[in-house]
A = this chain, B = another copy of it.
């Protein structure tokens, strides 16, 4: 059983066999070529032919790896999905589902895989330039919404097919992560992890309205972390 990964990720597991490793390399090469070229010349300024050429494979091979040009740019690696899902399942059982997701997402945001460190900003720049990619992005995420929802459901003993709670929880969490990831690029004031953390706090409190203080500070915090005046909500204890 694999150690519920904190590291791993950079090294190519030697046990994987030559064929598998080659595939990973090809996929990465294609993605890098796609992102680099598109960041440079715009989405319509680059054809799949050129991307494939840059990665030194045939055009047809490109489509063996990605169903769409868009996916090559914004899609998540299936491996990443597996990692994240596993990480959620591996969290201590006494955490609430929201807490577990929070921690995994924050960790993830903190380490942004080293090889992709330089690609990440390019990706976001591209998305900002071509908003419709945010869709493809969301779509790609939604493909692991299901996986995550299942993991989340298991934590609280719910069948995600029956009870909407896990799906709702995951949808809300991923929406927050996605939104802030994109914003973060535009207003790189505070580190992403911080902004995300505050957003999660807010979410955990039921998204209470923040006070409209005339804040002329450069980086307006999401909400204060002290006992704010939460509006009276119907709650039972």
Binding site for B on A (CB under 8 A): 67, 96-98, 131-132, 134-140, 142-143, 145, 155-158, 161-165, 167-169, 171-172, 174-176, 178-180, 183, 187, 195, 199, 202-210, 212-213, 215, 217, 220, 222-224, 226, 228, 230-231, 233, 235-236
Contacts and interface: CB of A to CB of B under 8 A. Distances in A.
Contact of A172 (B97, B136, B161, B207): B207
Contact of A220 (B155, B163, B172): B163
Nearest to A98: B207
B207 A179 contact: no
Given A96-B208, A206-B98, A223 B169 contact: no
A171 B140 CA distance: 17
A139 B143 contact: no
Contact of A171 (B162, B179, B209): B179
Which of A174, A195, A199 gathers most chain B CB within 10 Å? A199
12 contacts: A67-B132, A135-B139, A135-B140, A138-B139, A138-B142, A156-B210, A164-B180, A165-B223, A168-B207, A171-B178, A175-B175, A204-B206
Contact of A236 (B96, B164, B217, B226): B217
Which of A142, A213, A220 gathers most chain B CB within 10 Å? A142
Contacts of A156: 209-210, 212
A169 B207 contact: yes
B135 A165 contact: no
Contact of A168 (B140, B174, B179, B231): B179
B163 A210 contact: yes
Nearest to A208: B96
B233 A205 contact: yes
A217 B175 CA distance: 28
Contacts of A233: 204-205
Which of A158, A168, A203, A233 gathers most chain B CB within 10 Å? A168
